[in-house]
């Protein structure tokens, strides 16, 4: 049985220490000195209207990202942001960005970091769930999958794959499962709560990493919306690439050699000339 | 009667000869100069194995980063008054079966068709057959999809410059356009270049997981080893998707 890790679900109050730290073993995503960090947003509150998202860089007070009309069940792609601090504002669609917010706060981005900010639960109880999106790359030919329990109507949810791999056991609202390697390809998820049971189909490409958010549809059925956390080549070739025959190196070398030989020739000729001159002087003197 | 100049004019100096014309010490000096010159050329040639590009830079070590979220406020704003069905997932991935067909890099005058590349039995990437053709590694993602898309091309063959001969001229911000088989375009801008020894090829950086659409262009780079007839390095241009 896989135990789920309870994470931050503090409603309506500051999440003072929501530090999400990427492990040093993190993948290539972190392998840059000055690359971006990543954040994405999920609207998972079943009775909250569509929202408009605005991200504002505190430095310079400039809007860096805007997306309108984000509806229930939408999981955005990652937004790459330069390291820095940004204000988040989600307001009801069509309202000005400084209108009373459905969700607002600040986010500090560091190179290589990644997180999902999700609004969950019914509108009256709306909570912000901050999810650390660190992961290890799936092994060759596999995919990687985890479950986030965001069904507001369910007290607990169990999720397993058609092959029997358990992804969530007795997960409560806001619980975040661990990533699990699963075979690539079409995958069926069995979703079970106290009073509902359903299945969901996902297609998992080799080398891809997904989060399956369990939510409710309008009839109270459990459904899944998914986010693509990352993708890699399905199989990485071994080593580098042989893409040269040496012509450019050859011509560079030949040009260099010709120049050097010319220089040597000039020096040798000068030396010879000097010696001959001296010889001729000697001959003249003798004559 | 035919006679030699020597016999007809004994006073005239004999046919010119270096050994006779020069004192021994001067012969030695000239000989030494010429010998040194050729030794110099030989040394120079053996050392002269680089192309026009810069020396390899060290690959940066992975660095951990964080995303901190603070002061999140959420309130009962925007109540819909009813339970809703989830919106259909936005279709952001390329359609099944679509492949890249053309590569354009205006900054270095590249506009070529794209073939497909695979791996040989040993698992090594097979380079494009054509000198002026670039190839997309078909087990990397389709350009524009989330993940790394990998395109390789020749810097040269044994006689001529290749499609990626000027890849080293690219700088951050330069645009790369890949046309897909359905006519759509995926656009990227250059982030950085990595010059790496093939022996230390950064497989994880090139083929490993990414959060967004990435493109890597790979070619060969100096130093050229004339002994085994190949370049010692790979040049990798890293680019991020736009839009």
Q: What is the per-residue pLDDT across B173-215, written as a single tens digit (0 to 9) for each? A: 999 999 999 999 999 999 999 999 999 999 999 999 999 999 9
Cβ-defined contact of A78 to B74 (cutoff 8 Å): no
| Structural domain includes residue B41 | no
By C-alpha distance, which of A210, A171, A164, A207 is closest to A189? A164
Question: A6-40 burial, b if ≥16 CB within 10 A, otherwise e?
Answer: ebbbbeeeebeebebebeeebbbbbbbeebbbbbb
Residue B28 corresponds to which tokens in the numbers above? 């030695």
Which tens digits make up the pLDDT trace of A195-206?
889 999 999 999
| Structural domain includes residue B15 | no
Confidence class of residue A102 from pLDDT cuts 50, 70 and 90? very high
Give the closest of A91, A250, A260 to B44, CB-based.
Answer: A260
Residue B38 corresponds to which tokens in the numbers above? 């050729």
Residue B129 corresponds to which tokens in the numbers above? 């057959």
Number of domains in chain B: 1
Cβ-defined contact of B219 to A80 (cutoff 8 Å): no
Give the closest of B137, B221, B224 to A233, CB-based.
Answer: B137
The parent domain of residue B108 ranges over 100-242
Structure confidence at residue A259 (pLDDT): 62
Pairing mode of beta strands A51-57, A62-70: antiparallel
Cβ-defined contact of A32 to B60 (cutoff 8 Å): yes
Residues of A in contact with B45 (CB under 8 A): 253, 256-257
- For residue B20, what is the DSSP state? H
Nearest Cα of chain A lies from the Cα of B187 at a distance, in angstroms, of 16
Which tens digits make up the pLDDT trace of A145-178?
999 999 999 999 999 999 999 999 999 999 999 9
| Structural domain includes residue B18 | no
Residue A188 corresponds to which tokens in the numbers above? 């069926």
Query: CA B146 to CA B188: how far, in whole Å?
Result: 13
B115 three-state secondary structure: strand
| Structural domain includes residue B60 | no
Helix (H) or strand (E) holding A276: helix A247-286
Please identify which residue in the block is written with the tokens 């092959």.
Answer: A163
| Structural domain includes residue B172 | yes
Residues of A in contact with B231 (CB under 8 A): 243-244, 246, 249
| Structural domain includes residue B51 | no
Whole-number mean pLDDT of chain B?
Answer: 80
Residues of A in contact with B29 (CB under 8 A): 271, 275
By C-alpha distance, which of A202, A90, A106, A192 is closest to A149? A192
Query: Phi-psi region for residue A267, left (φ > 0), alpha (ψ -120 to 50) or beta?
Result: alpha
Nearest Cα of chain A lies from the Cα of B1 at a distance, in angstroms, of 30
Whether residue B167 contacts residue B217, with contact meaning beta carbons closer than 8 Å, is answered with: yes
Residue B227 sits in a domain of what CATH number? 2.40.260.10
Which tens digits make up the pLDDT trace of A215-252?
999 999 999 999 999 999 999 999 999 888 888 876 66
Check residues A30 and B185 and name the one with the higher pLDDT: B185
Exposed, middle or buried: residue A181 (CB in 10 Å: 0-12, 13-18, 19+)?
A: middle
| Structural domain includes residue B127 | yes
Structure confidence at residue A5 (pLDDT): 34
Structure confidence at residue A256 (pLDDT): 57
For residue A19, the chain B residue with the least C-alpha distance is B68
Cβ-defined contact of B40 to A46 (cutoff 8 Å): no
| Structural domain includes residue B186 | yes
């Amino acid at each position: 049985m896989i135990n789920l890790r309870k994470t931050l679900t503090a409603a309506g109050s500051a999440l003072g220490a929501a530090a999400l730290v990427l492990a040093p073993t993190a993948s290539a995503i972190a392998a840059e000195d000055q690359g971006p960090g990543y954040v994405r947003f999920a609207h998972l509150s079943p009775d909250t209207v569509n929202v408009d998202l605005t991200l504002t860089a505190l430095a310079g007070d400039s809007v860096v990202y805007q997306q309108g009309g984000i509806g229930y069940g939408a999981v955005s792609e990652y937004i790459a942001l330069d390291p820095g601090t940004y204000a988040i504002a989600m307001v009801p669609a069509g309202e000005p960005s400084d209108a009373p917010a459905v969700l607002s706060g600040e986010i500090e981005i560091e190179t290589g970091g990644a997180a999902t900010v999700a609004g969950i639960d019914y509108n009256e109880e709306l909570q912000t769930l901050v999810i650390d999106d660190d992961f290890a790359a799936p092994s060759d030919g596999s995919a990687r999958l985890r479950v986030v329990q965001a069904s507001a109507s369910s007290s607990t949810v169990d999720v397993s794959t058609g092959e029997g791999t358990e992804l969530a056991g007795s997960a409560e609202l806001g619980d975040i499962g661990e990533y699990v390697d699963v075979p690539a390809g079409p995958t069926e998820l069995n979703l079970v709560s106290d009073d509902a049971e359903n299945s969901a189909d996902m297609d998992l490409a080799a080398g891809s990493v997904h989060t399956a958010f369990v939510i409710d549809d309008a009839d109270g059925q459990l459904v899944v919306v998914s986010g693509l956390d990352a993708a890699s080549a399905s199989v990485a070739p071994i080593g580098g690439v042989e893409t040269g025959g040496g012509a450019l190196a050859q011509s560079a070398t030949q040009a260099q050699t010709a120049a050097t030989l010319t220089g040597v020739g000039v020096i040798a000729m000068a030396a010879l000339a000097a010696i001959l001159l001296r010889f001729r002087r000697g001959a003249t003197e003798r004559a | 009667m035919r006679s030699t100049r020597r016999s007809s004019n004994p006073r005239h100096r004999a046919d010119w000869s270096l050994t006779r014309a020069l004192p021994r010490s001067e012969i030695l000096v000239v000989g030494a100069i010429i010998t040194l010159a050729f030794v110099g050329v030989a040394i120079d040639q053996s050392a002269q194995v680089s192309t026009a590009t810069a020396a390899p830079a060290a690959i940066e070590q992975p660095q951990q980063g964080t995303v901190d979220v603070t002061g999140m406020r959420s309130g009962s704003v925007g109540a819909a008054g009813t339970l809703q069905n989830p919106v259909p997932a936005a279709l952001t991935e390329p359609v099944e079966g679509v492949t890249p067909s053309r590569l354009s890099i205006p900054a270095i005058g590249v506009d070529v068709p794209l073939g497909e590349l695979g791996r040989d039995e040993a698992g090594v990437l097979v380079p494009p057959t054509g000198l002026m053709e670039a190839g997309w590694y078909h087990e990397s993602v389709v350009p524009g999809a989330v993940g790394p898309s990998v395109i390789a091309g020749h810097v040269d063959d044994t006689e001529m410059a290749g499609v990626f001969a000027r890849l080293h001229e690219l700088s951050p911000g330069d645009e790369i356009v890949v046309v897909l088989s359905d006519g759509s375009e995926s656009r990227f801008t250059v982030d950085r270049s990595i010059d790496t020894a093939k022996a230390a090829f950064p497989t994880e950086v090139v083929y490993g997981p990414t959060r967004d659409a990435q493109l890597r262009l790979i070619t060969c780079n100096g130093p050229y080893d004339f002994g085994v007839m190949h370049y010692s390095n790979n040049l990798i241009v890293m680019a991020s998707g736009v839009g």
